[in-house]
Amino acid sequence: MHNKTIAELAKGLADGEFSSVELTQHFLGRIDALDSQYNSFITVTPEQALAQAEAADATRAAGNAKALTGVPVAHKDIFCTNGVLTTCASKMLSNFVAPYDATVVDKFNSAGMVSLGKTNMDEFAMGSSNENSFYGAVKNPWDTNAVPGGSSGGSAAAVAARLAPGATGTDTGGSIRQPAAFCGITGLKPTYGRVSRWGMIAYASSLDQGGPMARTAEDCALLLNEMAGFDPKDSTSLKKAVPDYTADLNQPLSGLRIGLPKEYFGKELSAEMSDAIMASVKEFEKLGATVQEVSLPNTMLAIPSYYIIAPAEASSNLSRFDGVRYGYRCENPENLEDLYKRSRGEGFGKEVQRRILVGTYALSEGYYDAYYRKAQRIRRLIQQDFLNAFNEVDLIMGPTTPTPAFDLGSNTDDPVQMYMEDIYTLAVNLAGLPGISVPAGLVNGRPVGLQILAGHFKESQLLNAAHQLQTATNWHQLAPSAGQ
Amino acid sequence: MEWEAVIGLEIHVQLATQSKIFSGAGIAFGAEPNTQACAIDLGLPGILPVLNESAVEMAVKFGLGVEAEIGMKSVFERKNYFYPDLPKGYQTTQNDLPIVGKGVIEVEPEEGKIRQVRIHHAHLEEDAGKSLHETYTDENGRGMTGIDLNRAGTPLLEIVSEPDIRSAKEAIAYIKAIHSIVTYLGISDGNMAEGSMRCDANVSVRPKGQEEYGTRAEIKNINSFKFIEKAINHEIERQIELIEDGGRVIQETRLYDSEKNETRSMRSKEEANDYRYFPCPDLLPVELDEAYIEHIRSEMPELPKQKKQRFIDELGLSSYDAGVLSATRPMAEYFEQVKDRCGDAKLAANWVMGELAGQLNKDNLEIEQSPVSAVQLGDLVKRVMDDTINGKAAKQVFAALWAGEGASADEIIEAKGLKQVTDTGAIAAIVDEVMANNPQQVEQYQAAPEDKRGKMVGFFVGQVMKASKGTANPQMVNQLLKEKLG
């Protein structure tokens, strides 16, 4: 049952092959039996899940089932869940029970879906390895010595290990796509403004975007159908009709123009990585697409630009965690300043503190123009690069990451090396574009991802290309031994 | 040396919206602590602000009211600092691109002396909560601080003037002008006691004639007309004394203590926060178009300046009277109602500014609280105009209305028998009686030279009025007396 895709599970439920309660019990059983190896969940909510499953079965019996009624999923622990612990993998929120659901959670609940629990992540979504969690690192189901990627590492590992058929993630600089690549699954970062950020704990507000993680492009389309849409509670969400993302999955690709940015195939990319990516690109050519080189000249500026803008916004977004109203408070504060210093010093992990300091510095009087304003100018250049490229081609393709998953602990002493992991993914957030990572085979026994990018609001086109690749190949069906 | 003060004011006006600037919570004054604060106001994780459009509309109204440039694109920024009553750790405000740009206000600190005070800009922002230091103790009796977030997120319009003000008196005139405009526009209740208008003053002094500004101190937390004048005057004196004693003013923030009537240092520029302003990524820029502005312009009420001019041009009032009667919206509304009821603007003005204002002042009441309604006063004036009662009786009727002794002037006139006697025969009879009872005075009068008689006739008038219980028509009494005394 756990090897079925969401599409297959939805069909099985509709056909009465199994009930949502049976399905939910099955996945809860797997989490219980296997997750001690991966640490992909922070909180599992069996009682709530079974209650939702029973309700879903009743809805189906009454003839009111919707597309995904009864399908279980997991939520990244950055999405607020009413009455359920929402930690953002931080000691700071280790006691925080949200009094409301994030819009994404609310939409899934309204769709009749079942929530299995809350997945592990890098603290406040800051990290590329899921090693920055107050609840411990997540391990890659393909190799427990490897990281699962981050920050949505728990969601990626849970889906890869078949502990959940799909999960929510968030992507600020690659946090859906990079762990999807490392764990051999499919992960979609929608256009900025497509999915509501209400109730999604903010890291960098102008870059954060929630999206689906699953094993196939078709499953991502099904999940995105339930997630996307304008939300009056989020001023940055867009008033734009939501198409049926499954409608165009089978459009032929003949005549599709694919661009390969030369900057994404530089010397930092190993021959094995390059070969794996080119093997996927060849499949598209077989499907009738044409391939040409394009240039995104400001690619290398994405990292410094991102690492000014994201920490700057984070330094302000995380100011509310002050030990005054909720969350962690230090013992016996002597005075207000002591309360602030120790609550925040003890409640935040190292990487979070590092980014708060960087961001605070970048916004300081006298440095604002040199850092923040300049970073915003670079951001516009990067956006322009993409717009120029999309004048020539329909889709841009390249590797999601420079390397397959690295070993746990190997990058933790060198934040800059860690930041380099996101070189291909960051620019997409700066430009607000949609991007998807799809499995593209193994390098050194570990999965790698092909990243496909499209113009704003062209998620259907991305999903179409990804689905056609997955129809023609079976990389997405490769599973870690744990998933068998 | 003669010194000149240079003053700029920052006035925070609480806007009269139904709900907060970024959330749906209410903003009523005086609610139980934290009962008007929702998840957004509490700064819970994952919450997002949504701009209240009526706050934007009110800000635009103000801008149009002071003939200011309207920011067709304004941007909310975050002002970052830590304080327990600031739930998000930043205040959402406008900085680089405010919604209201440069404008100007005319003020008249004394009769005939008109001054222009330029508005630098006005911007929208959210208020913080309140820290309650006095009321709380822990189980060991140690003082604790309570936090009430009801006020957090209340919409404010901060109006920043240029340093065009030269005295505390001018400052008061300016604040009153702002108060008048915002209440005329209905964008604030202007209630200073409830904090609907709060004022910070930037004060510096310089030798008279010098162009360059002196170093300024900012006085925070002054919230009544009385205290503003005192605080500014105190600060001007402090700075002059300091400089004359060889010291120098340092740029700092000072807090006004109304109990001790002094300002004291809060923090100096060196200790000042670096607020790390940057555009709020949760809110889109506010972009307005001409059609929107025109629509608001078409709905603007008549403002004090226009009203005053109309009172002068159309009603023939003096500039001073027109100024007083147009100063506040309730005053103007009251006056216009009296005028419409009785049909004589000058008489209406005299009554409102004379008898009514005097009584209000005596009983320490605002015009909205007047026991005599505008309709009642208008009807009373009408009875004076049609000679039903004389001026003296009218004052009696007014006093009776004030005391609630009757529902209308007519009712009181009837009940008290104050109707003016205009029957010549009846008045002549009283005149004869008075003359018969005071033969000595009649003799003295008749012996007196012509130029002294004018004064002496007053005695007889008084006696006749007394005898008629004040109801005799004074003109007729005068005329008959002159005839009969010879």
- Domain spans of chain B? 3-295, 302-416, 424-485
Q: What is the distance in angstroms between the Cα of A204 and the nearest Cα belonging to chain B?
A: 8
Q: Do A363 and B39 touch (CB under 8 A)?
A: no
Q: What is the ipTM of this complex?
A: 0.95
| pLDDT band (50, 70, 90) for residue B424 | confident
Is A151 in the B-facing interface, judged by CB distances under 8 Å? Answer: no
Q: Which residues of B touch A313 (CB under 8 A)?
A: 278, 281
The pLDDT of residue B193: 84
Average confidence (pLDDT) over B122-147: 85
CATH number of A6-255: 3.90.1300.10
Is B224 strand, coil or helix? Answer: coil
Question: How far away is chain B from the Cα of A359, in angstroms, using its nearest Cα?
Answer: 10
Taking domain B424-485, whether its CATH number is 1.10.10.410 is answered by yes
Which residues of chain B neighbour A363 with C-beta distances below 8 Å?
80, 276-278
Please name the residue of chain A whose CA is at the shortest distance from the CA of residue B77.
Answer: A316
With CA atoms as reference, the chain A residue closest to B38 would be A99
> What average pLDDT score do residues B51-77 get?
97
A315 vs B contacts (CB less than 8 Å): 80, 276
Lowest mean pLDDT among A104-113, A153-162, B409-418, B449-458: B449-458
Q: Are B89 and A96 a contacting pair at CB < 8 A?
A: no
User: Is A180's Cβ below 8 Å from some Cβ in B?
Assistant: no
Residues 235-254 of chain A with CB under 8 A from chain B are 235-236
pLDDT digits (tens, 9 = 90+) for A372-410: 999 999 999 999 999 999 999 999 999 999 999 999 998
Contact assessment for residue A151 and residue A135, using Cβ atoms and an 8 Å cutoff: no
Q: Does the distance separating the beta carbons of A324 and B284 come in below 8 Å?
A: no
Of the candidates B24, B44, B42, B23, the residue with the CA atom closest to the CA atom of residue B33: B42
Q: What percent of chain B has pLDDT over 90?
A: 66
Helix, strand, coil: what percent of chain A each, to 5?
A: 45, 15, 40
Q: Do A313 and B281 touch (CB under 8 A)?
A: yes
| CB-based contacts of B386-389 (< 8 A; 24+ apart in sequence) | B387/B420, B387/B422, B387/B473, B388/B413, B388/B419, B388/B420, B389/B413, B389/B418, B389/B419, B389/B420, B389/B471
Q: Does A316 touch chain B (CB under 8 A)?
A: yes
Q: In this model, does residue B405 exceed pLDDT 70?
A: yes
Each domain of chain A, given as residue ranges in start order, spans 6-255
Q: What is the per-residue pLDDT for B420?
A: 81
pLDDT at A483 exceeding the cut of 60: no
B137 vs B392, higher pLDDT: B392
Choose the mutation target among A325, A334, A358, A373 for the interface with B, i.e. most B CBs under 10 Å: A325
A 10 A CB-CB count for B386 gives 10
Comparing alpha-carbon positions, the chain A residue that sits nearest to B50 is A235
B258 falls in which pLDDT band (50, 70, 90)? confident
Lowest mean pLDDT among A125-129, A169-173, B379-383, B469-473: B469-473
Distance from CA of B34 to the nearest CA of A (A): 12
Is there a contact between A186 and A245 (Cβ–Cβ < 8 Å)? no
Which of B38, B52, B82 to mutate against chain A (most A CBs within 10 Å)? B82
Question: Checking DSSP bridges between strand A166-171 and strand A446-453, what pairing results, if any?
Answer: unpaired
Q: Which of B48, B78, B86 to mutate to test the interface with A (most CBs of A within 10 A)?
A: B48
Cβ–Cβ < 8 Å for B310, B351? no
Helix (H) or strand (E) holding B348: helix B345-351
Residues of A taking part in catalysis: 76, 151, 175
